[in-house]
Structure 1
Amino acid sequence: MRPHLFNGSNYSYRKTRMKLFIQTNNYEVWRIITNGSLIPMKRVEGVIIPKEEGEWDNNDSIKIQLNAKAMYTLFCTLGANEYNRISLCNNAKEI
């Protein structure tokens, strides 16, 4: 099921519907949108750096996939004008 396309009007109404749509499909996706996604990190010689993709464990992959689902859901609800404004965002919270 796909959410309705946002046309720029009735923002409060659309916001509530979108929130409920996302929460009912996967509440963890909603948490990624509101709290931001977590980049898998590791400690090397006392410095925390991002993990390489090959170093991700199952939990890291799940977090990355949730961010991708959140971004996809948000992209699907926006028209071309809004897409151009957010196309360079790297995670759902930025969008």
Structure 2
Amino acid sequence: MASTQPFCRDGGSSNKPLCFFGQHCDFWKIRMQTYLEAQGDDIWDAVENSAYVPKIVINNKEETKIKASWTNDNKRKVLLDKKAKNMLQSTLGMDEFFRVSHCKTAKEI
């Protein structure tokens, strides 16, 4: 018997992505990937590769840069994960949101 709940309760356009309420995950996942890719290659790369962490090499050892020394490009790259995380979280119903609310990066979500 067919479900009486609407399949796509909200979103599904280029301005408002499809909301996920716990059903049809494979469908939502494909649609969400397409939505994120349409926001720019850098956004999707942030999801696939995880958050960018600015690094610096000191004495042949790679260390995390302190925030005060970030370049504009470092700031732009760090912001990409935050944007992707925001887009993902804004498409989730309350139950789904709380399942991933502990995630620190878009990739974790």
Q: TM-score, normalised by structure 1?
A: 0.89
The answer to whether 1:31 aligns with 2:50 is: no
Residue 36 of structure 1 contacts residue 93 of structure 1 at CA under 8 Å; is this kept in 2?
yes
The answer to whether 1:52 aligns with 2:66 is: yes
* Higher Cα Rg, which structure: 2
Residue 20 of structure 2 contacts residue 96 of structure 2 at CA under 8 Å; is this kept in 1?
no
5+ residue gaps in structure 1?
A: none
Q: Greater helix share, 1 or 2?
A: 1
Q: After the TM superposition, which segments of 4 or more aligned residues of structure 1 sit over 4 Å from their partners?
A: none
Classify the secondary structure of the residue corresponding to 2:74: helix
State the 1:75 CA deviation: 0.4
State the 1:89 CA deviation: 1.7
User: With CA pairs under 8 Å and 6+ residues apart, which has the higher RCO, 1 or 2?
Assistant: 1
* Equivalence for 1:81: 95
Residue 2 of structure 1 contacts residue 76 of structure 1 at CA under 8 Å; is this kept in 2?
no
Matched to 1:20, the amino acid is T
5+ residue gaps in structure 2?
A: 1-14
Q: How many residues align?
A: 95
Structure 2: how far apart are the matches of 1:85 and 1:7? 12
